[in-house]
């Protein structure tokens, strides 16, 4: 599988195509794809879903993707990575930690293909932001600070749509249970916020009742739910990120790479699934 690399922290490219000639590939950066006009299908990790005018896709790093064009399509590709969100000395803003936290959410929420925007008003705002960024990028004196500010707005809109998708997926749960599941997802790699007493305080529950409450509402133990979520993200990072096991284990809060691989093997063995990454 070809892996496309980019040495640039940020780039915008516009192309009008009648045939997608690139073979399916992966890349080492995030890519936001805006369909200015045209119809066809997006393929991500082997699954096809249709696109049309003003469709918006987010392609996380190392997901295999391509497009099948049905009518002439104008694509706007916005490529970015963590380096683009370094400290902005001009505005005295530091987005690096914000993007580090957002990275996990973007990677774990969007593992399926298809248009990611479910709100017409959000789509209109995002379309305006993307076109504004195109105009800014075309200027000889393009401001990185302006581009970065627009990207922060874009990614926050993406996050809101992911949140709404999460809530729709868990409509069968009561509001407090959905809030609790969302809280765990957002703080999945912060052990200090997942302690029983902290969760109890956050949701006005007795510390002795948190585990029982979670089991009653979801059908599985709190510890098992957190472990399963971490294992899924770890396995995805191992398959797609290109990072070393040591780096992934450190990022995800495991003791070390050996501990992480043992936990993943145990989970997959218990689930009756082979874990080919460690075969």
Radius of gyration of the chain measured on its C-alpha atoms: 20
Query: In this predicted model, what pLDDT tens digit does every residue of 107-136 receive, in sequence order?
Result: 555 455 578 788 899 999 999 999 999 999
pTM of the model: 0.66
Task: Band the pLDDT of 242: cuts 50, 70, 90.
Answer: low
Q: Which of 58, 110, 108 is nearest to 233 (CA)?
A: 108
Task: Band the pLDDT of 81: cuts 50, 70, 90.
Answer: confident
What does DSSP say about strands 65-80 and 93-94: parallel, antiparallel, or unpaired? unpaired
**Measured distance CA(265)–CA(137) in Å, rounded:** 47
Which of the following CATH numbers is that of domain 2-169: 3.40.50.300, 2.40.50.140, 3.10.450.50, 2.60.120.280? 2.60.120.280
Task: Answer yes or no: is pLDDT of 172 > 80.
Answer: no
Task: Answer yes or no: is pLDDT of 173 > 90.
Answer: no
Task: Band the pLDDT of 61: cuts 50, 70, 90.
Answer: low
In the chain, where the domains are located: 2-169, 175-274
Q: Residue 102: what pLDDT? A: 66
Q: Residue 64: what pLDDT? A: 64
Task: Band the pLDDT of 273: cuts 50, 70, 90.
Answer: very low
Do residues 60 and 116 lie in contact, with contact meaning Cβ atoms separated by under 8 Å? Answer: no
Do residues 236 and 277 lie in contact, with contact meaning Cβ atoms separated by under 8 Å? Answer: no
Query: In this predicted model, what pLDDT tens digit does every residue of 179-233 receive, in sequence order?
Result: 888 788 778 777 889 999 999 999 999 999 999 999 998 888 998 888 888 887 7
**Measured distance CA(123)–CA(129) in Å, rounded:** 10
Q: Which two tokens stand for residue 230?
A: 């971490």
Task: Report how far apart, in Å, the C-alpha atoms of 146 and of each of 87, 93, 134, 149 are.
Answer: 14, 12, 11, 5
The CATH class given to the 175-274 domain equals mainly alpha
Judged by phi (left if over 0) then psi (alpha if -120 to 50, else beta), residue 57 lies in: beta
């Amino acid at each position: 599988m070809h892996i496309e690399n980019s040495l640039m922290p940020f780039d915008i490219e516009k192309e009008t195509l009648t045939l997608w000639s690139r073979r399916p590939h992966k890349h080492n950066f995030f890519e936001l794809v805006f369909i200015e006009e045209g119809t066809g299908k997006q393929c991500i990790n082997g699954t096809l879903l249709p696109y049309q005018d003003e469709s918006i896709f987010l392609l996380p790093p190392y997901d295999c993707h391509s497009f099948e064009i049905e009518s002439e399509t104008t694509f706007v590709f916005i490529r970015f990575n963590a380096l683009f969100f370094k400290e902005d000395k001009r505005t005295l803003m530091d987005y690096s930690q914000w993007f580090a936290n957002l990275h996990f959410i973007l990677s774990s929420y969007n593992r399926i293909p298809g248009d990611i925007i479910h709100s017409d008003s959000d789509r209109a705002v995002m379309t305006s932001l993307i076109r504004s960024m195109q105009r800014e990028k075309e200027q000889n004196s393009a401001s990185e600070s302006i581009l970065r500010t627009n990207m922060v707005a874009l990614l926050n809109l993406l996050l809101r749509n992911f949140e709404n998708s999460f809530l729709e997926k868990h409509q069968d749960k009561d509001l407090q249970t959905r809030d609790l599941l969302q809280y765990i997802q957002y703080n999945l790699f912060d052990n200090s916020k997942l302690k029983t007493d902290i969760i109890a305080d956050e949701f006005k529950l007795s510390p002795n009742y948190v585990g029982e409450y979670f089991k009653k509402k979801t059908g599985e133990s709190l510890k098992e739910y957190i472990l399963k979520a971490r294992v899924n993200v770890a396995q995805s990072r191992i398959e797609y990120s290109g990072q070393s096991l040591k780096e992934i284990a450190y990022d995800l809060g495991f003791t070390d790479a050996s501990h992480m691989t043992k936990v993943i093997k145990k989970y997959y063995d218990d689930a009756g699934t082979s874990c080919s990454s460690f075969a």
